[in-house]
Amino acid sequence: MSYANRSESLQRQIDDAIADGWRIESETPERVVLVKRNVGSLGVHLILALLTGWWSFGLVNLVYGGYKYLNDSQRRVVREGTACPECGASVAADASYCQHCGTDLGAAGTETTTTSESAATTDAETER
């Protein structure tokens, strides 16, 4: 899959996330990692400025902001996939079963070659 072959729904998800303030951290043809960084709340910055501003010249505020930026970020992975017919959880397009509920996705959708081969073997054994 190349970047140009993304489905419209996947591209719409990425565009909506960017509109909500998420940024693309890394991007491959299979997945996009989005990140939303935080520099801390205004209230905490004001309290730190009032309590330590005179003695630290704002250095404590900078350290707090840097800490929040690096350690308090949210990450979200968006990838092409399908939903499980039983539980609705997102599963990979080539998955054979749902990792959340264990539903066999080969039976729900198209049969895999191993399933059809075993069915043919079973039919041949019953004819004997």
Instruction: Establish if 21 belongs to a structural domain.
Output: no
The confidence score (pLDDT) of residue 53 equals 76
Share of the chain above pLDDT 90, in %: 9
Instruction: Establish if 91 belongs to a structural domain.
Output: yes
- C-alpha distances in angstroms, 85 versus 98, 105, 115, 123? 9, 8, 19, 28
Instruction: Establish if 104 belongs to a structural domain.
Output: yes
Instruction: Establish if 29 belongs to a structural domain.
Output: no
The confidence score (pLDDT) of residue 20 equals 92
Helix (H, G, I), strand (E, B) or coil at 39: coil
Instruction: Establish if 112 belongs to a structural domain.
Output: yes
The single-letter code of the amino acid at 65 is G
Instruction: Establish if 99 belongs to a structural domain.
Output: yes
Model pLDDT for residues 92-106, shown as the tens digit of each residue:
777 788 888 888 876
- Checking if the pLDDT of 111 tops 80, the result is no
Instruction: Establish if 127 belongs to a structural domain.
Output: yes
* Structural domain of 98: 82-128
Total tally of structural domains belonging to the chain: 1
Query: What is the C-alpha to C-alpha distance for residues 64 and 68, in angstroms, rounded to an integer?
Result: 6
